[in-house]
Structure 1
Amino acid sequence: MAADKDLVITEGSGKKKTIMIAAGVLILLLAGGGYFFLFNGQDKQTMNNGAESATDSTNLKTTTGSALYVPLPRPFVFNVPGSARDRMVQIKVQLLVRGKENESLAMRHIPLIEGSLLETFSSGNADDLSAPSGRDVLKNNALSNLQQELLEVVGSVVVEEVLFTGFVMQ
């Protein structure tokens, strides 16, 4: 009877040991796969960005450095004409820049950025801004105008993207 009891315990611990080994192997495989997908993809992206910026110097997108967001201190409030009536619009904006140098340049030129964006925003139409596609067009126009203004003053493209973090139209 004692021999059967020992045999069962040995058999049970063998199953436990197999399950523990299988779980350990599974965890290692998942960790290795996660590492591969996470870091292998970034290396290719970094290499591609470096190749693009080295080969195409006229590209208006900045691709070096980490993404940083520069919030503008005040929302933009302005009137736009509409077919039925004029509308009041309020837009909160953040700027996507790459690297600490571009962040400090954007912070230094906030008045220029605000002036350029307000000029672009106020040239919109209420009927166009009521549709998402119209807001996208306005955002793209604001980005291209802002990049041109900063290119003339600073000599480089500072802002990669204009982001609307708030949009209200009354």
Structure 2
Amino acid sequence: MAEEDLKTGEEGKKKSKLMLIIIIAVVLLGGGGAGAYFFLMADDSPAGAAVATGGTQPDELVSDSSGRALFVAMPRPFQFNAPGVSRERLVQIEVQLMVRGQVNEERAKRHIPMIEGTLLRVFSTSNADDLVTEVGKADLRSRSTSQVRQVMNDLEDNPVIEEVLFTGFVIQ
């Protein structure tokens, strides 16, 4: 008789633990699903805001120059040899483009091959002795920004790119 009570008590504890685990799993899954729904269904685009307010914003009128900053990463780092007075050095630069607004982000992504070509052309004119200094890096970044903006202005009638950022810079 005592053994039967002991077995029944253990089975009851196992069932209550299992039930507690199931309840926790359901609550977590439900909360995660609700969070995913609100995250994915949120519409932060300017066009969505125009529809919500009843106005219209054609794509041609949206310049997105005052939108929030978005960053477009270049698909691979740039590697090149830079000549110097004493020796040639290998340089690797990782680049991201800062744009304003969703429309400009899509425009920049559409023209990545042209942007890569422009950056390679600018990088190939650099000198290893200049790239060692902070002033040389800042000069290279500003020349890159102005050249990319000029090319994008020719392609899209809009500079699109606000800034060229170096997220990784290695020189050997």
- Structure 2 CA distance, aligned partners of 1:139 and 1:105? 21
The normalised TM-score by structure 2 is 0.62
Which residue matches 1:88? 90
**Which stretches in structure 1 are left out of the alignment for 5+ residues?**
1-61
**1:167 deviation in Å?**
0.3
Cα RMSD (Å) of the superposition? Answer: 0.9
Distance 1:82 1:102 in 2: 37
Q: Which segments of structure 1 move beyond 3 Å, counting only runs of 4 or more? A: none
Distance in 1 between residues matched to 2:138 and 2:163, nearest whole Å: 12
What is the aligned residue count? Answer: 109
Q: 1:72-98 CA deviation, whole Å, 9 max, x = no partner?
A: 000000011100011110000000000
Counting only pairs closer than 5 Å after superposition, residues 81-160 of structure 1 correspond to structure 2 as 81-160=83-162
Contact 2:65-2:101 at 8 Å conserved across structures: no
SS at 2:85 equivalent:
coil
Instruction: Say which structure is richer in helix.
Output: 1
1:140: how far off?
0.1
The whole-number CA distance in structure 2 between the counterparts of 1:147 and 1:132 is 22
Q: Per-residue CA shift, 1:4-33, capped at 9, x if unaligned?
A: xxxxxxxxxxxxxxxxxxxxxxxxxxxxxx
Task: Give the TM-score taking structure 1 as reference length.
Answer: 0.63
* 1:64 to partner: Cα distance: 1.5
- What are the Cα deviations for residues 118-156 of structure 1, in whole angstroms up to 9, with x where unaligned? 110111000000001100000000000111111111110
Unmatched 5+ stretches in structure 2: 1-63
Identity %: 52
Q: Distance in 2 between matches of 1:88 and 1:96?
A: 26
Written as runs of structure 1 = structure 2, the 5 A alignment for 1:19-38 is none
Confirm or deny that 1:79 pairs with 2:81.
yes
Following the alignment from structure 2 to structure 1, what is the Cα–Cα distance between the partners of residues 147 and 160? 12
